[in-house]
Structure 1
Amino acid sequence: MRSKNTIHIADLLKRVLGDRKFRQGVRKAEIALHWNEIVGPEIASRTRPVQLFRGRLIVECDHDVWRTELTFLKPEILKRIAEVEGEGAVKEIFLK
């Protein structure tokens, strides 16, 4: 006998997968997983993506020199992220 509070698994999956926070969390995890391939091993060893919110990716750098370097590489990084995640997944990069 089903209770009034039960929900079909398909409906639950639609809710979870349709949730923006969930999708952004998955995208951030995928970007982190592919970070080495996106920016290259040297930059990846000095930086890491820490947050993705409303198309804005926050990248933490271990030194000001790397933050300055990445400022000039933002267009290329955005292009590579689009290749991995699809166009528009990340619209801006903020360096921290």
Structure 2
Amino acid sequence: MAARDPLPLSIALSELIALRGFARVRSENELEAAWKQVAGPDLAAQTRPAKLSRGTLTVAVDNAPLLSELASFQGPELLQVIRQRYPHLNIRTLKFKLSGT
């Protein structure tokens, strides 16, 4: 294909989606929705998925007591549920951090 030849529509759309970040936004929305389902309304109101990188989902937590509770007790159960319900997200571990840090 010469530099001036028109691109096939499928390639042009793929490039536009990548350029505009639409795929990233969609995956972030899916991750947030999955977390809300797994965490439930009370926990989801005090937490949010901050980052998914290399299979580790980092969850921002509003306060230190809840951070401790999640890291020590509820984390393994939450991880098991999210892995069962959303295996395509490829989450292997959960990490909790205090919001704003």
Map 1:61-72 → 2, pairs under 5 A: 61-71=61-71, 72=73
Amino acid across the alignment from 1:74: G
Aligned residues: 93
Give the structure 2 partner of residue 31 of structure 1: 31
- Cα distance, 1:32 vs structure 2: 0.3
Amino acid across the alignment from 1:65: P
TM-score normalised by structure 2 residue count: 0.68
TM-score normalised by structure 1 residue count: 0.71
C-alpha root-mean-square deviation of aligned residues, in Å? 3.2
Query: Distance in 2 between the 1:36 and 1:68 partners?
Result: 19
Q: In percent, how many aligned pairs have the same letter? A: 26
Q: Which has the larger radius of gyration?
A: 2
Structure 2: 5+ residue stretches without partners: none
* CA-to-aligned-CA distance 1:22-60 (integer Å, 9 cap, x gap): 877644421201322111111111111011111111100
- Asked if 1:55 corresponds to 2:55, the answer is yes
DSSP 3-state at the match of 1:34: helix
Query: Distance in 2 between the 1:74 and 1:57 partners?
Result: 11
Query: Distance in 1 between the 2:78 and 2:23 partners?
Result: 20
Query: Distance in 1 between the 2:89 and 2:75 partners?
Result: 14
